[in-house]
Structure 1
Amino acid sequence: MESKPSYAELGQRVKELENELQTKEQFFNNILNNIPDLIFVKDANHRWIYLNDAFCAALGRSREELIGKTDYDIHTKEQADIFWQKDNLVLETGCANSNEETYTDAQGELRTILTRKSIFKDKKSGQIIVGISHDITEKKRAEQALADSQRRLADIIEFLPDPTCVIDIEGRVVAWNRAMEKMSGIKKEKILGKGDYAYSVPFYGEPRPTLIDLVLKPDRDYEKQYLSIKEINGDLFASVAFSSSLGIDGRYFEGTAGKLYNSEGNVVGAIETVRDITAMKRAEQDRERLISELQDALANVRTLKGLLPICSACKKIRDDKGYWTKIEAYIKRHAEVDFSHSLCPECAEKLYGNEDWFKKREDKPKK
């Protein structure tokens, strides 16, 4: 039969257990205090009963100042209302909850945190809330900066004077600006997010690769359908292309397409701008047609050259067959020139010089 331990032995054992508990508590405190995330424990009345160093540093308060306090003692009412609402949700449902929250730190800067709260049931304290908050302020700022940048880029594309289309790497339309809406007759709401070459239908009457696709995946068969296409530093330039589906008689346009890259240098899509050059192309065609007609006319012009036998009295010309012909008829036949008839001042004077109406006329020639 074992003997009962003495009071001295019991006291020693209690002291050893206290030291062991203190060591373990210190060990866990060291772990929690070296975690950069904000860790807190609240009782059912929302009072803090444990806070790690990161939590205290974020609020610029000592642990002694915060223990036993609530959110309303530290934060603004608007912020504390949100904290309590999420605390009550966890207390009432017993389920963990994750949500974004904001608070004002020790420097007066508004911070955004992602907080996860869960319930732990303690026999002594009852329900307690255990929470950990991860600061995502910089992440949110980066996301906002990216969103602002994308919005500015979208605004720039939207108001470009040239019709512009952007597709992602999967060939889905992600931008379709106002000028493109006007040219194609397709509203962006009807085309955004669509793939399978849907953006080519307004131009070609069927889904098929266009310049924006060729910059991502070259296809010589389709490239031949452009009147002129060349590549410069990875971008494709089509000087002239014809669309029979646009306008009454079709439209001519020139386009430029290039790849789009992300920050890692990976291709994420392509962009194409087109410009309607129908008026210029029609003018070129009219000019070429006129030049051709003039060249044909010049080729058919029969020139007068050599010596012409002409009557010194009546001014008739003898042709190569011996017939005498009026000079105007001869020239017209050989030079395709029309004549109008009138009197020169000398002849008019000889014919009508003695007539009173002729002497009194107002359109006398200057001497």
Structure 2
Amino acid sequence: MSEQQKTVALEAELDALRREVQRLRARNAELEADRGFPGRLVDALPSLVYVLDLEERRYVYWNRELAELAGGNIGAAAGPLRGDGLSSMFHPDDIGRIEGYRARVAASESGEQATVEYRARGRDGGFRWFLERGVALGRDPEGSGRRMLGSAHDITAHKHTEQMLERSESLLHAFLEYTPSMMVAVDVEGRLLLVNREIESYYGMSREELLGKVVYDLLPPAASASIRKANDEIAAAGQPGASEHVLVYPDGPRNYLSTKFPIRDAEGKLYAVGTVSVDISRTKQAEAERAEMQRRLIEMQQATIQELITPLLPLARGVVAMPIVGTVDPARAEQILTTLLEGIAARKARIAILDITGVKGVDAHVAQSLVGAARAAGLLGTRVVLTGIKPQIAQTLTMAGADLSGIVTKGTLESGIAYALRARRRS
């Protein structure tokens, strides 16, 4: 092989070596990237992740989220940080709980997790709630965990929801315990889902005994049918409504005004009907008493009005007068007859003056009724004097064929009174 050939061969081998070196460098870069991938993956997590040496109480690893949350405490550290270095992050009241949690991790079996909830300062400086899970990574010769892996995530929103739920439950409990009204919820089959103390008192059963029972089976037939109908109507309409019911107690029936409303789940499907019932027995009794009082008052007013429109006036012993004013219809003619006869009998009147000066007009039937009243008085032994007859009324009486025999007629009330007084003196 010539020198030139040897040179060409060496150059070829050298090129091959260069390509192999480049390949090895690329592969090494890939391996370096692969080794860094887990760290980048953990840094991308929104949770706080760390590894703690439990014996030396120092952090040997922490992810970016924890570093940013801790600020200078971790971010400026060049090496492992003492475990106490983050104590200022935690709420003072939670330090003991965290220490107990780490002790449980140290004593736990391999792979067994422990959990703890605590408050730590967030980026805004305020305390936020975290839920942490931890597991032991390795153990010392005595069997205790030498290192632990911890992972915590922010549960502040969950805690807030939990607190609001607890507050709502406390509020509901207070209403159920102390509201004097009946409060109940039943599903579409009538099974009791919620009852308050008033319901317990009515049925004489505890809440635990009542829940799950069908309310319609606990009521008398009439009340059961009425309440079932009302609940079914609310369920069908899907709208609130009100109705009255009667429940029987040992001391008697009581009236209730019930406001009913549909209860829906998160998807909007109706699954129950709620009821708030207020005892309105006293109100109903008061209304009945007011109605009775009003009825009596109306009767008294009507009696007073009748006395005013058909007054019977005593003029002298044995002499009475009834002035009639306005229009006389059959009903009033009947009232005139009744008042006249009762007054004559009560006052033992011998002469009665019936003055129709103020009467506007009468028909034939009413004219006959007035004459009949006069004749009825005559049957009681009373002489009737009819005064104030107008031409129109005289014509009506004539056309009606009214028999005025035995009845004294005078043109004016004044002449009628004079006649009555003279007749009284003569008798």
* Separation (CA, whole Å) in 1 of partners of 2:234 and 2:292: 36
**1:86 to 2:86 alignment:** no
Matched, 1:133 2:152: yes
* Counterpart residue identity of residue 337, structure 2: K
Counterpart-to-counterpart distance in 2, 1:217 and 1:26? 62
Tell me which residue corresponds to 2:232.
214
2:152 match: secondary structure: strand
Q: Which residue of 1 aligns with 2:240?
A: 235
The equivalences for 1:119-268 within 5 A come to 119-121=136-138, 127-152=146-171, 155=174, 163-167=181-185, 169=187, 171-174=191-194, 176=196, 180=198, 185=202, 190=207, 194-198=211-215, 201=218, 210=228, 213-214=231-232, 217=235, 234-238=239-243, 240-243=244-247, 245-246=248-249, 248-261=251-264, 265-267=268-270
Structure 2: any 5+ residue segments left out of the alignment? 1-20, 300-330, 353-373, 383-427
Percentage of matched positions with identical amino acids = 18
Partner of 1:72: 84
Q: Aligned pair in 2 of structure 1 residues 111, 257: CA closer, same or farther (>3 Å)?
A: same
- Compared CA separation, residues 23 and 290, structure 1 to 2 (3 A): closer
- What is the letter of the counterpart of residue 275 of structure 1? V
Shift of 1:259: 1.7
Distance 2:209 2:128 in 1: 36
For 2:120, the equivalent position in structure 1 comes to 103
Instruction: Answer yes or no: is the 8 Å Cα contact 2:51–2:61 preserved in 1.
Output: yes
Q: Which residue of structure 2 aligns with residue 57 of structure 1?
A: 68
Report the RMSD for the aligned CA atoms in angstroms: 5.1
State the SS of the aligned residue for 1:74.
Answer: helix
Q: 1:176·1:188 contact (CA, 8 Å) conserved in 2?
A: no
CA contact (8 A) 1:47 1:67 kept: no
Q: Structure 1 residues 158 and 81, CA, compared in 2 at 3 Å: closer, same or farther?
A: closer
Residue in 2 that maps onto 1:227: none
Equivalent position of 2:9 in the other structure? none
What secondary structure is seen at the aligned counterpart in 2 of 1:23?
helix
Amino acid at match of 2:242: F
Ranges in structure 1 where 5+ consecutive residues have no aligned partner = 1-10, 219-230, 328-367
Q: Which has the larger radius of gyration?
A: 2
1:27 alignment partner, SS class:
helix
**Alpha-carbon separation, structure 2, partners of 1:86 and 1:63:** 25
Mapped partners of 1:210, 1:107: distance in 2: 56
Hey, what does 1:28 align to over in structure 2? 38
Q: Which amino acid aligns with 2:261?
A: G
Contact 2:97 2:116 survives alignment (8 Å): no
Q: In 1, distance between residues paired with 2:376 and 2:254? A: 57
Q: CA deviation at 1:216?
A: 5.8
Alignment-mate amino acid for residue 52 of structure 1: N
Aligned to 2:358: none
Q: Using structure 1 for the length normalisation, give the TM-score.
A: 0.59
Q: TM-score, normalised by structure 2?
A: 0.52
The superposition leaves residues 46-86 of structure 1 with CA deviations (integer Å, 9 ceiling, x where unpaired) of 32111110111122233452852344222146544332321
Aligned to 1:144, the other structure's residue is in SS state helix
CA distance in 2 between partners of 1:256 and 1:27 (Å): 64
Residue 268 of structure 1: CA displacement? Answer: 5.6
Contact 2:187 2:193 in 1 (8 A): no
> How far apart are 1:106 and its partner, in Å?
4.5
Is the aligned partner of 1:275 residue 2:290?
no
Distance 2:161 2:53 in 1: 35
- C-alpha distance in structure 1 between counterparts of 2:206 and 2:102, whole Å: 42
User: How many residue pairs are counted as aligned between the two chains?
Assistant: 291
Q: Aligned equivalents of 1:59 and 1:271: distance in 2? A: 51
Counterpart-to-counterpart distance in 2, 1:117 and 1:257: 51
